[in-house]
Amino acid sequence: MTKTPALMVLGTGSHVGKSLMVAALCRIFSSAGLRVSPFKAQNMSLNSAATSEGLEIGRAQALQAEAAGIPASVHMNPVLLKPSSDTTSQVIVRGKIFAQFSAEDYFRRRNEELLPIVRESYEILAAQNDLMILEGAGSPAEINLKDRDIVNLRMARVAGARCILVGDIDRGGVFASLFGTLALLEPSERDLIDGFIINKFRGDIRLLADGISALEERIGKACLGVVPYIENLRLDEEDSVSIEHTESKPWLPDNSPNRLLRVAIIRFPSISNFTDFDPLIAEPSVDARFCRTAEEVAKADLVILPGSKQTVADLCWIREAGIDEVVRLQAARRLVVGICGGMQMLGAAIDDPHGVEGQGTQAGLGLLSIRTQMSREKTTREATGELIVPELFGEPLSSSTVRGYEIHVGQTEYLETSAPFARIRRPGDSEEFAFDGCTNRNGRVLGTYLHGIFHEDAFRNEFLCAARKACGLAPADSVLNWKQLRENEFERLAGTVAGAVDPQRLLGLVGLVWLSVPTQEGACASRR
């Protein structure tokens, strides 16, 4: 049987732009009429997303599916590794917890067991699409792991994919990294790679000409394009390296009612799903940043405790950093919000009888009247609903609709005097609704299990309006249309890549021909 044409994006290392390159190609080819799907056999990330069927995948693959204009599927990322420490990871297989493994155990034995599942997921997607865009992980030339690697060139062979190698010139040493990567591959592996792309270039492209020619001659591979650096691209970054870009100068005293709302997002060592806050960071009336010190947090109007992969350990870190007392002070005079693990920390206690994250009981910050018990099962599902009361931070709302998704380990119970935050509905639930989150008595502290809640324009605008008023600030002059901005960013990304990398040439690598006149059905390519 003829295999579905497949193109794989490999990188000289992590954070060279593989994920966004795949997203760009998904948008380029889907916009031209092809049925396109992303695929990454194995991903390692603390940023994840819930699919419509209530399963967990890497955030990058959800982004790529959005770029392609299709629903995210668990088959797009059949294996997700979520680090629990420097040497262990929680292994998610097809959206559900499979096991907790040490790195040595996983890479020496376990990943081989998962290859048939990976292959099956790939074949399910490939049968439904005209073109598959695969993403590698890290570098294909990790010689200490290469013989057990199921995500890079081995996956390329499974898919019958042609490969392109991406290097990041913004970090320096791009020619050496491209040459070195290919030098460490076996001849049969190098034969799978048709050329290279230089990514994130700034400056005069003419200065690259001699270097590109010399590299092409040395490695016998063509340069397929030089992609410019895209300033302030507001699309999900998977690596925590991107958090650094939100750190800026310290907040100075400012009593102006028109100043920006100061939002401190506590940067735990095991912070997860930090892309929850991309819309807040993009808001023109907000100065949101990730903070690691008590001094930074104390200067904020609004403090957010985000999600965490290791909730108990991060709660201990908060205490060691002296941030716990600052959060309590902020709860009395300003505003505090907890998302998922952050909400669990704000409660009375976290019990862990099964040793999911340790053992025993850890006292919480005591700002919400809830108690959480860690469980072996993970809750992963989308949810919609409305706030219990028509106000936020003591301020009236004109709209109370909420929408997001849950990804958490642990069940939270309400204690006396507790007040739920929202009434939500989950697809497939037998019950009509369930309660989510909690607020304290004065309404200045709230928590929710819902990730992605700030991605909804109506709720975010109401939230920020209430927060500004509660902090004595004037209404914002302008608000952000996040959905439109995100769509514009996809188009900007795709347009930049298409202008630097010839899409027709890339299709030719996988045996497809670009048709200048679309068919009635909109398809733009055919097999040779």
Smallest Cα–Cα separation from 234: which of 225, 222, 245, 223?
245
- In 3D space, the residue among 426, 422, 450, 451 whose CA is nearest the CA of residue 438 turns out to be 422
Catalytic residue among 340, 438, 465, 471: 340
User: In angstroms, what CA-CA distances link 250 with 262, 282, 297?
Assistant: 11, 19, 11
Burial of 126 (0-12, 13-18, 19+ CB in 10 A): buried
188/171 Cα distance (integer angstroms): 29
Look up residue 238 and give its two tokens.
Answer: 């998977």
Whole-angstrom CA distances from 415 to 69, 79, 367, 374 are: 43, 37, 12, 17
> Would you call 451 a catalytic residue per the annotation?
yes
Largest CA distance in the chain: 73
Question: Out of 26, 163, 291, 451, which one is annotated catalytic?
Answer: 451
Chain position carrying tokens 């907790």: 100
Q: Are 234 and 282 in contact (CB under 8 A)?
A: yes
**Dist CA 291 CA 304 (whole Å):** 10
Structure token digits, residue 356 = 């999911």
SS (H, E, C) 298-312: HCCCEEEECEECCHH
Please check whether residue 289 is in contact with residue 247, taking contact to mean a CB–CB distance below 8 angstroms. yes
Q: How far apart are CA 132 and CA 126, in angstroms?
A: 6
* Residue with tokens 């909420």, as numbered in its chain: 402
Indicate if 408 belongs to the active site. no
Eight-state DSSP code of residue 110: I
Strands 349-352 and 370-387: parallel
Q: Kindly state the helix (H) or strand (E) to which residue 121 belongs, with its residue range.
A: helix 111-126
- Tell me if residue 102 falls in helix, strand or coil: strand
| Residues acting as catalytic residues | 340, 451
